[in-house]
A and B are shown apart, each in its own frame.
Chain A
Amino acid sequence: MTGGWEMELSSRLDELVVSAEESAPASAVDAASALRHGRRTRRRRAVVSAGVAAVLLGSVALGTVYGSGGPAPVGPAASAGTDRADRSPLAMHVRFGWLPDDVTTVDAGWHHELGDQQLATAGADRSWLLGSPGPLPWSEPSRPAGWQPEEGEPYSERTPAPDVNGRKAYWVSVKGVSALELLFQSPDGRWLSLRGMGSRAPEQEVQLRIAAGVQVGRFVLPVPVSLDPSTPLSDVVSVDFRRTVHGAGGWQLAMQVSVRGNSTVTISAESGSLPADPAQPWRRCATGEGMWWCAAPFTADSPSGQVTPDDVKVWFDRLVPHSTDERTWRPVLLP
C-alpha cells in the first residue's frame, strides 16, 4: 500500500460522495422526530442497552464534591435506617471513593424501576457508571461447538479480573463496543458493576482502582430543593442530581413525577440565574438564594393533553427551596 494510493482513495471517496449526492433523494433525516422518539424512550425506559441509566440520561443528578484524588464522601449522610431516610429516593447503596483527577462531574440518580446508580464523567469523553449489575454472566451464552465470531462481529465475553480488595471480580466486555464492565463483590457479598464507557478503549488499571475505592453503605443525599412531605413516594419516577467535582460547586437537580399514573411533570432546579425561556409557557419558575427552580410538563414544547396547568401548579407549589448553603439542604423530596 503506497501513500499515493491512500491519498488517491481519499480523493476518490470525496468524489464518490459528491457524485452520488447529485442524484440522491432528499434527506429524510428529521431532528424533530429524533426529539420525539428520544423523549418517548426516555420516558418509557430508563436505560440504553449499554447500561446507562435513564436517571442519568435526564442529565441532572445528585453527586458530590470530591477532593483531588483522594477518597471523598458523596455528601453528608443522614442517619441510616430512619423512616425519613427510607422515604428518600436518593439513598445510595454505594458511592465512589477514588476517582481520576480529570473527573468533572458526578451524577447520582434513582429510578423507580432501576434503583440507584452513579456516574462519574471525566474529560476526554470518559465515564464510569456504578451500580448493581444486570443478570450476572455466570455462564457464557450457548454456542455451537467450534463457534467463532465473524470478523468484526461483537460478542460478549467474561474473563477473570484481578481481585478487588481481595474479592472475586470479572471483566465483561462486548467486542466491538468500547464499554468494559467490571463485576466485583462488595464486602457484604453483593455484586457491584462498574462500567467504563467512552469512545476510546477503557483503561483497566483505572477501572480497578475506582472499584477498589467504592464504598458500600447507605448514603442519603441532601439537596437544595425538596418536596412537600405530603408527597407520596410512589409519585416519584426518577431523581437525578449532578455536582461538579472540582471548583465552583455548581449543581443541577431534576425529578420526574407522575401525574395520574400516565403523564409526567419535570422538576428542575439549578444554581445560578434562570435562563430566559419564552418557549415554555406552561412552565412555572421561581428564583432566589442564587438558584432557580421550575416545574413543567415533561414534553417541554408541547404539553400533552394529560398534563394541565393545574397539575404543573400543584407540583410547583410542593417545592421547598432551601439555599445554596449546603447546611440548609435536606434529604431529597421527602424531608
Chain B
Amino acid sequence: MAELTRDEEFTAFVASRAVWLRRVAYLLCADWHRADDLVQESITKLYLHWGRVSRADNPEGYARTVLVNVFLAEQRTAWWRRSRPSAQPPEGAAVPEADLAVSLDLRQALAALPPRQRATVVLRYYCDLTVEQTAAALGCSNGNVKSQSSRALEALRRSAALRQQGRSAA
C-alpha cells in the first residue's frame, strides 16, 4: 500500500512538473534530447529519494536542485561534450525570423558559458531564485553565486552587444 501510494504521488508530481523541468534542462544544455535525458535521470533519482522528497517543504525546489546537479555531474563525466559546441539550431517548425535571431543569440551565448555559470544564470534569472536559494541549490556560498552571476551577465551582455554591432554593420 505504502509502495503504491508513493508511486502514485511520484507519478502525479512528474506529470505536473515535467514540462517545467524540461524547460529548465533545455536552458542548461541547449538541446531537447539531452534535456529529456537530464530530466529522465533526475526523476529517477527523485523516485529513489521520493520518501524524503515528498516530505520536503519544497519538492519543486528539490527537483530543480537534483536536475542542476545531474547536469553538472554530466559535465564532469562527459568531458568531451564541453569541448564541442552544443547549440545546434533545432529542426522543425518555423519560427519568426526576428524571434529566431534573438533566441539563437541568447542560446549560443548561454551555451558558451561555463556550466556552472550557466546553471547560475538559469537559476537566478529563469527560475527567479534569490542569491541565497541559488547558493543552496548549487551547494556553494552566496559570494560564489554573486561572482558567477556577475561574470555570466557580463559575458552575456558583451555577447549581445557584439552581435548587435555585427547586425548594425551588416
* B119-155 CB contacts (< 8 Å) to partner A: 121-122, 125-126, 128, 135-141, 148-150, 153-154
Q: How far is the CB of A247 from chain B (nearest CB, A)?
A: 15
Report yes or no: B116 in contact with A10, Cβ–Cβ below 8 A. Answer: no
In the complex, which of the residues A16, A22, A33 contacts B27, with contact meaning CB atoms closer than 8 Å? A16
Which residue from chain A places its CB closest to the CB of B19 in the assembled complex? A27
Which residue from chain B places its CB closest to the CB of A298 in the assembled complex? B3
Q: Cβ of A35 < 8 Å from any Cβ of B?
A: yes
Contacts of B107 in A (CB 8 A): 16, 20
Report yes or no: B136 in contact with A200, Cβ–Cβ below 8 A. Answer: yes
Q: Cβ of A135 < 8 Å from any Cβ of B?
A: no
Which residue from chain A places its CB closest to the CB of B156 in the assembled complex? A9
Q: How far is the CB of A139 from chain B (nearest CB, A)?
A: 21
A124 touching B57 in the complex, CB below 8 Å, given contacts A38-B47, A177-B69, A252-B2: yes
Report yes or no: A19 in contact with B126, Cβ–Cβ below 8 A. Answer: no
Report yes or no: A1 in contact with B150, Cβ–Cβ below 8 A. Answer: yes
Report yes or no: B99 in contact with A19, Cβ–Cβ below 8 A. Answer: yes
Which residue from chain A places its CB closest to the CB of B24 in the assembled complex? A17
Q: Cβ of B90 < 8 Å from any Cβ of A?
A: yes
Residue in B48, B56, B92, B154 with the greatest tally of chain A CB atoms within 10 Å? B48
Report yes or no: A301 in contact with B126, Cβ–Cβ below 8 A. Answer: no
Number of interface residues of B (CB under 8 A): 80
Report yes or no: A125 in contact with B90, Cβ–Cβ below 8 A. Answer: no
Report yes or no: B62 in contact with A199, Cβ–Cβ below 8 A. Answer: yes
Q: How far is the CB of A50 from chain B (nearest CB, A)?
A: 10
Report yes or no: A34 in contact with B44, Cβ–Cβ below 8 A. Answer: yes
Q: Cβ of A147 < 8 Å from any Cβ of B?
A: no
Q: Cβ of A130 < 8 Å from any Cβ of B?
A: no
Q: Cβ of A81 < 8 Å from any Cβ of B?
A: no
Contacts of B5 in A (CB 8 A): 275, 277
Contacts of B44 in A (CB 8 A): 33-34, 37-38, 41
B-binding segment of A92-100, A149-157, A324-332: A149-157
Q: How far is the CB of A252 from chain B (nearest CB, A)?
A: 7
Which residue from chain A places its CB closest to the CB of B89 in the assembled complex? A23
B-binding segment of A52-60, A162-170, A183-191: A52-60
A195 to B55, CA, bound (A): 19
Report yes or no: B22 in contact with A177, Cβ–Cβ below 8 A. Answer: no
A27 to B19, CA, bound (A): 8
A106 to B148, CA, bound (A): 37
Which residue from chain A places its CB closest to the CB of B36 in the assembled complex? A28
Q: Cβ of B100 < 8 Å from any Cβ of A?
A: yes
Q: Cβ of A42 < 8 Å from any Cβ of B?
A: yes
A37 to B63, CA, bound (A): 17
Q: Cβ of B52 < 8 Å from any Cβ of A?
A: yes
In the complex, which of the residues B90, B128, B136 contacts A201, with contact meaning CB atoms closer than 8 Å? B136
A177 to B32, CA, bound (A): 25
Which residue from chain A places its CB closest to the CB of B18 in the assembled complex? A29
Contacts of B1 in A (CB 8 A): 268, 274-275, 277, 280, 283, 285, 292, 294, 296
Known contacts A10-B128, A16-B106, A19-B95; 8 additional CB pairs below 8 A are A5-B153, A10-B125, A14-B126, A15-B99, A19-B102, A24-B26, A27-B19, A60-B2
| 7 A-B pairs in the complex with CB atoms less than 8 angstroms apart | A1-B149, A10-B126, A34-B46, A57-B51, A176-B139, A176-B140, A301-B7
Q: Residues on A close to B: CB < 8 A?
A: 1, 5-6, 9-10, 12-17, 19-25, 27-35, 37-38, 41-42, 48, 52, 57-60, 104, 121, 123-125, 127, 151-154, 175-179, 199-201, 252, 254, 266, 268, 270, 274-275, 277, 279-280, 283, 285, 292, 294, 296, 300-301
